[in-house]
Amino acid sequence: MKKKVIITIFIVLVLIMMFPIIKKDNENIEYRSLIYKIIKIKEKRIDKYDNGIIVMILNHVVYNGYNIATSDENIELQEPEDDNGILLIIERGDKKCIPVRLELYNNKTYKLYTHYKACKPFETCASITQYSSELTGSFDYDISKIIKNSRIYNNEKYPPKYILYSANGEKYIAGKNNNNIEDFFNSIDINMNKCAKKDY
C-alpha cells in the first residue's frame, strides 16, 4: 500500500513539474510539463515588445494574457462598396474548437453565428465550416478604433486572442491590451469566449 502511494505521488510530481525552456532567438520562456504549459512572452517587434503570459492545459488555452505590440502607423479599415457588405469579421484566435463568428456590416448591423452545420455519424461533411443559427443586431461604435489597436497578421508564433478579417481580405490580430474590442463586445452585450455548437 505504501509503495502504491509513493508511486502515485511520484507520477503526480512528474505531471506537474515544470522544466523552463529558454529560446535562443528571443526572450520568450516556456515552462512545460506533461499536462500544461506556461509561456512568458517577450518578443521584440521593431521598436516595441509583445509581452504577457499564455497558460495552456492539455494544449488548450485557458488564459490568454498576450499583449500585442502595435505599429504607430495609421491602419485604415477599407469599407466595402456595398452598404450592406461585410466590414469586418471577428473570431477567437486561441480556441481549439470552432469559435463563434461575428460579422460586422457597413450598415451598422451585425450577425453572431453561434452554431455550425455538423454531420451525423457516418455522414459526409463539407470541408469548409458552414455557420448557422445567427443572432442579429445593430451597433453604434467606431470600428476603426479596434483596427488601430490591432496588428497585421505576420506568421505569429503564439495564438492571439482575436483574429480579424477585413473586407479586402486583410488579416489582423488583437491581444488582451486591445481594450476597444472588449468595449465593443460589451456595448452589444455578446460573449466571444464560447465555442460554436453543432447543428445537425
Pairwise CA distance, residues 110 & 194, whole Å: 17
How many domains is the chain partitioned into structurally?
2
Residues 117 and 46 in one domain: no
pLDDT for residue 112 is more than 90: yes
Let me know whether 60 and 91 are in one domain.
Answer: no
pLDDT grade, residue 84 (50/70/90)?
confident
Supply the range of the domain harboring residue 155. Answer: 86-199
Instruction: Tell me: do 194 and 95 sit in the same domain.
Output: yes
Domain membership of residue 161 (yes or no) is yes
User: CA dihedral defined by 37, 42, 44, 45, rounded to 10 degrees?
Assistant: 70
The answer to whether residue 8 is domain-embedded is yes
State mean pLDDT over 71-93.
79
Clarify whether residues 107 and 163 are in a common domain. Answer: yes
Residue 89 has pLDDT above 90, yes or no: yes
Q: Does any domain span residue 80?
A: no
pLDDT at 126 (0 to 100) = 66
The pLDDT value given to residue 46: 64
Check whether 14 has a pLDDT greater than 80: no
Could you tell me what percent of the chain has a pLDDT over 90? 28
127 pLDDT higher than 80: no
> At residue 77, does pLDDT exceed 90?
no
Task: Kindly state whether residue 81 falls inside one of the protein's structural domains.
Answer: no
Torsion of CA 34, 194, 105, 134, to 10 degrees: 130
Note the pLDDT of residue 162.
Answer: 94
| Confidence grade of residue 114 (pLDDT, cut at 50, 70, 90) | very high
Residue 76 lies in a domain: no
Q: Are 92 and 22 in the same domain? A: no
Residue 130, domain member (yes or no): yes
- Count of alpha carbons within 13 Å of 128, Cβ hemisphere only? 1
Residue 110: predicted pLDDT:
96
Considering the domain architecture, whether residues 52 and 6 belong to the same structural domain is answered as yes
**What pLDDT sits at residue 95?**
79
Is residue 148 within 8 A of residue 166, CB to CB? The reply is no
pLDDT of residue 164: 94
Residue 13: predicted pLDDT = 65
What is the model's pTM?
0.79
Same domain, 101 and 188: yes
Question: Pick from 67, 94, 110: which residue ends a domain?
Answer: 67
| Nearest Cα residue to 32 out of 23, 22, 19 | 19
User: pLDDT tier at 87 (50, 70, 90 boundaries)?
Assistant: very high
Do 174 and 133 share a structural domain?
Answer: yes
The mean predicted confidence, pLDDT, of the chain is: 83
Report how far Cα 53 is from the mean position of its chain's Cα atoms.
Answer: 14
What is the model's pLDDT at position 22?
A: 64
Pick the last residue of a domain from 67, 95, 113.
67
